[in-house]
Structure 1
């Protein structure tokens, strides 16, 4: 059987169809970066035992080169179907990852190494097949959806997890390529570090969902002014121990008090592998006190300001543009599935 006939046979026999509520009725991806409560062992005294008298040190130097890495994901069309009387959930999705490379000595910035990938996956251990969606009107362009590893889970939530995991894996590949070769480059990944992230990658977490500090130490966060950080603490999670610290982004002119926001608005958390020397981690932490507020987005341009960084925001827009029009892509998927007929 030819590859084309095999793909047609797969879609006819499994009778997968679009689920109308899959993308519109609820937010397509409801995945928190962190759980609501930390169960990790946290040592808040690795840098100092006296948080009350801690002041953010000035960096000795700043890197001339910065690399910001981020990714986007989209659920193109939610699927439900199955062989016989079984019900299986699946997803057509698009992921994109890229980097913004900044030379601070020029200054100059550019988007680079952008990768767009379309993925197809299912729950319930259902294997997917490489699927090509032809373009109408005689064009040679086509949408190619690559199969990803199936999930054991078989609930509607598996769709978001499949696309999320594919995006994170692509980000990790890009991160590995960007390992700094010298001390004059800082690589910043938007989001938490993975279990196998290289040592000198800085994780940037802009949403707080997890309480790493007890009330005694967490009170310090309310006292932070823009450009100030907390002492470094150690998160001793199994298989992923890392240094971390909180920092308040923004400027004295654009801060939570002047904008009428919550006192913790602008607080971000950063993390580094604990495999690097503590003194090196301190110097990078001190550098972030200047670099993060400097590259913070402005409320007039980004509703997630100042937590979302301007280079990352620009990268997100470029990634979204290259992913293609969501409405047109979904129509093409509808036409593709409708061509196989079957019971609705």
Structure 2
């Protein structure tokens, strides 16, 4: 074996701030193995995770282990002489990773970096996998636009049917609106659960959106908190954000204050219209009251004038007198 070959050695050490459980889960994902088998690596003895590597390949494997939270190191390969019996025992032990290896340098069942996805596969219509913050924003914008378009189509179709039969138009609008609502909720739950997985949280926490007061804060956490940089118990990290994702996320962030401004403007207009209507009704009431008072005063004056005329009238002598 030449002197320019290297190996990756691990003796159970972890990077600062990384919990043992998290590191074991990350290694299980890298090795495509279970946590019980990964426990065999944490004995404190040095284990060669990968052998006979060039320096560049060794650096690649080391970066993968660093992302998993493992403090591994690169060491040059040293010629080691094995007997035929020892080699046979090592090969047979290597086929079952759960069995203790005869040699402390026996490799694990799967080589690091081989058959391991660097990023998770994006699947929207599922509760499995992970999506990041920007991709979550982008999908929220897409769902909002789809809701507006589908709502317009449903309203147009219902109005067209209602011109011939109001009852049929109402029934059609209710059924299509209910189907649209169920589809929107279903997709929203799926992308929300994947966003929780990116944070390393359980998808069941999505039901916090049903709790009053909490549901006004919890969605903001999904937009603000960063996801795990490495693999977690829900899989590898999501792919890097494409240009389209960044553009859609930016448009959604710009769309939110516009929507708030529209809502505030409509609310102020409604308040001003209501205030104006109240003022008009008060003015009309006061006008009616003043008119009634004028009519009453005129009537009183006419009655007094008539009474005065009766009092001042001279009596007429009768013919007999």
- The TM-score, its normalising length taken from structure 1, stands at 0.19
User: Could you say which structure has the higher strand fraction?
Assistant: 1
- The TM-score, its normalising length taken from structure 2, stands at 0.20
User: Could you say which structure has the higher helix fraction?
Assistant: 2
Answer 1 or 2: higher relative contact order, Cα 8 Å, separation at least 6: 1
